[in-house]
Each structure stands twice: as structure tokens, then as C-alpha cells.
Structure 1
Amino acid sequence: MHKPDGYPDVSAYLIVEDARAVLDFCAAVFGAEDLRIIEREGGGIMHGETRIGDSVVMMGEMPGGPPANLHLYLADADAAFDRAVAAGAEVVQPMTEKGDGDRRGGVRDASGTTWWIAQQVG
């Protein structure tokens, strides 16, 4: 088998300052489940994976890494958006119907990753 069971063919890979904080944010906001976590000798996470719905998001730590953007379709986007704000995320764009059939908003977590949270409404 060319990949772990249940993994998609393509997964996002984030470079973040604090992978544990991002993994915890994903669990609190999106109900994500940690998969593989490989710790760096001396502390920190060398490689982490979490499942959000049917997708896997992978990440590694690098101070000063580039910010990333991820787009998620969720069954209750407004509730997830509210959980993100409650978890300390900065609002980049409030939840708005965009005229393309989506209701979408953006939040930036403490690592600098922007999460575009959307739901089809039309």
C-alpha cells in the first residue's frame, strides 16, 4: 500500500512555530483527532498529523515559517467560526454569504495560519 489506511492522496502541510498549539486549536475548533506525532529530541514536534473530517493536515515546526491559508467546508461553519474566536483566533473576515453559494469567514490562529471556514448555502 502506498499510503497509510484512511489517508487522502493529497494533504496540506503547514510550517508553524508551535505545532502542539495548532493541533490543540484544530481539536478545539474542528473536532480534529491527532494521528501521528513525532517529537523532536529535546522538545517540540518534528512532525504532526491531525484528521479534520475526511482530510489530514500535516505540520512541522520552524521558527519564522511562512504563514499558510487553509479552506474547510464544514456542516456548521458558523459554530466552528465561533469556536475559533473563543479559542483566541483573530477575525480576518466575518462570516458572510459570498454570492458564490458559500457562507464563509476567515480566522487567523496564534501560529499565523488563516483558516477559511465555509459552508454551502445555495
Structure 2
Amino acid sequence: MSRTREWLDGYIKAWESEKPDDVRAVFTDDAEYFFRPDDLEPARGIDAILESWPEPEGANPRYDLDVLIEDDRLGIITGHVEYPGDSSWVNLWEVHFAPDGRAKKFVEWAKKTPSESDVD
């Protein structure tokens, strides 16, 4: 299994469990988390990441996320996430790795996709 795939599996576990130890398992103590690529002030440090960790975003999100490319320092993840009855997103994530395989920097590139009601 690739480093990025292992990290993604850990991220999904943290996302679903919302347990601080699961979040700590995928981010370094001094990590930066950019919720958007143009964030002027990302969440810096594990305590800030835990404080800003996404709250429940809707019941039973469905996702299809996979590794696009990677090397020892960077993994790129792409896919989509759907929150039934609410919203759907296309995602590209940058995961900048520390030597231990946790993220030292994470950048979300996400775009909300139009719903059927937006198209009418």
C-alpha cells in the first residue's frame, strides 16, 4: 500500500470517528491545514486543527477518493464527496508529508458542484 493511500485511510478514519487521537495519527504537531488554497491563516498546529476539525457535515457522506500521484514528499488525492440531501463537492487534496508519514501541510481544493435544483 502506498504512503498516500495509508494516509488517506487514516484521514477517513479520523473524519468518520472525529476522535482526537485519530486526527493526531495523520497530522504532525506543527502541521498546517489549509481549508482552501487561498487561506491567509490556515489552522496551524495540531491543537488548532483539532479545534477547527470539520463538524458533522450531514448524515452519511458518500465519497470516492483516491490517490492521483505521489512521491516521498507529496501525495495528491482526488475525488468527490456527496452529502445526501445537502451538497456535493469535487476535491483535490495536497498532502505534504513529514518523514513519519503524517501530514505536515494539507491543502484542500474543493468546488461545490451544482445540484439538480441549481440547474433548473
Q: TM-score, normalised by structure 2?
A: 0.26
Instruction: Name the one with the larger helix percent.
Output: 2
